[in-house]
Amino acid sequence: MTPTYVLIPGACHGAWCFDDLAADLRGRGHRVLSYTLTGVAERANLANGGVNLDTHVTDVLNALGTVPDPTGLVLVGHSYGGMVITAVADRIAAQVDSLVYLDAFIPEDGDSCWTLTNDEQRAWYAAVDATGWGVPPLPFFDDRATAHPLASLMQPIRLTGATNRIRRRVFVYAERWPTHSPFAATYAKVRDHPGWRTYSLDGAHNLMRDKPEELVQILLDATS
């Protein structure tokens, strides 16, 4: 079965953060789909206080519903995107081959970004912009980044446990955060778990920019 890579960006970012990675995978003959979530980046005009995690999960499920033969999926989530791919996989587990978390949240039922992250990141979430529900981009984010809907970071995820049946789960840890990584605890939790394949890369949170060749190989290996 030929894999289909589905790339979901993190908070404040659009599908463009995967452009180089996607081009490399397509050049190797793979089908690659990447999505900008509602209310973010080039879809920022759709932002409002009601955009939440459910909205973003529906974005991806609706998009996959238009794809011919959406099976053998490799769902790849960066940062906040880990929440989205987990919820999507829980709903369509039979169609998913692998889950790949790029310095990303790995939630269990009832978790949210708020409960999984550290105090520094919670302070960032709380420092909303003038709208009252837009979390502004961090200084080290891409210049194209926009505010992110706060509700999506606060909403608890609801899972049935179906993701436990997915064949392969991968976590890629970024070693170079400007401060303490909010994903350090997540990496420690899965690093020695027999059900996970883990990597630690000498790059910043934007691994797509800092470690593109390594990421391509990790994604290729995820299907082996």
Give the pLDDT confidence score for residue 67 in this predicted structure: 87
Distance CA 120, CA 118 (A): 6
pLDDT tens digits for 159-179? 999 999 999 999 999 999 988
Distance CA 100, CA 27 (A): 20
Per-residue pLDDT averaged across 111-128, rounded? Answer: 97
HEC per residue, the chain:
CCCEEEEECCCCCCHHHHHHHHHHHHHCCCEEEECCCCCCHHHHHHCCCCCCHHHHHHHHHHHHCCCCCCCCEEEEEECCHHHHHHHHHHHCHHHEEEEEEECCCCCCCCCCHHHHCCHHHHHHHHCCCCCCCEECCCCCCCCCCCCEEHHHHHCCCCCCCHHHHCCEEEEEEECCCCCCCCCHHHHHHHCCCCCCEEEEECCCCCHHHHCHHHHHHHHHHCCC
- Catalytic (active site) residue 34: no
Closest CA to 77 of 176, 215, 224, 191: 215
Which one is catalytic: 79, 98, 152, 181? 79
pLDDT tens digits for 177-222? 988 999 999 999 999 999 999 999 999 999 999 999 999 999 999 9
pLDDT tens digits for 63-94? 999 988 888 999 999 999 999 999 999 999 99
pLDDT above 80 for 2: no
Residues near 164 by beta carbon (within 8 Å), at least 6 away in sequence: none
Q: Residue 61 corresponds to which tokens in the numbers above?
A: 């499920």
Closest CA to 74 of 157, 167, 11: 167
Q: Residue 22 corresponds to which tokens in the numbers above?
A: 């996607």
Entry pTM: 0.97
Q: Could you give the domains of the chain?
A: 4-221 (3.40.50.1820)
Distance CA 186, CA 214 (A): 21
CB 99 within 8 A of CB 170: yes
